[in-house]
């Protein structure tokens, strides 16, 4: 798989990213493991997730599956600003909400940093 520099940031990302929006809902941990293994075997490095995916289950699965991998071999992309804390889609891009979601994401992913962190939507 090819890689590309992300602007002038110094970060290199694989040209295809592994999206995990359905992990924890339509994709269980066993299937996620197979998808991740195949992706990494193909040379992929960039894993995309978000605080609101499957109410955090996506990040929990990623954290479990990547715990034994070398963190420097992965590019973790996370997003914040959307939750379903009331059962409905809630957009909150305030500083407090973003930082709270970042802390929760880092805990679920079992890492101390994201390589790229995005605001998931405008408000």
Catalytically active residues are: 51
Quote the Cα angle for 91-111-8, to 5°.
Answer: 75
- Rounded distance, CA 118 to CA 50, Å? 9
Contact 74, 83 (CB under 8 A): no
Helix (H, G, I), strand (E, B) or coil at 49: coil
């Amino acid at each position: 798989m090819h890689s590309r520099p992300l602007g002038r940031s110094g970060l290199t990302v694989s040209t295809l990213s592994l999206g995990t929006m359905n992990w924890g809902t339509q994709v269980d941990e066993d299937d996620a493991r197979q998808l991740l293994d195949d992706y990494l075997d193909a040379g992929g490095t960039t894993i995309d997730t978000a605080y609101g995916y499957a109410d955090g289950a996506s990040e929990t699965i990623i954290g479990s599956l990547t715990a034994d991998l070398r963190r420097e071999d992965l590019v973790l992309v996370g997003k914040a600003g959307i939750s379903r804390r009331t059962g409905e889609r809630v957009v909150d891009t305030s500083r407090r909400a973003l930082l709270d979601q970042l802390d929760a994401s880092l805990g679920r992913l079992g890492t101390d940093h994201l390589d790229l962190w995005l605001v998931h939507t405008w408000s």
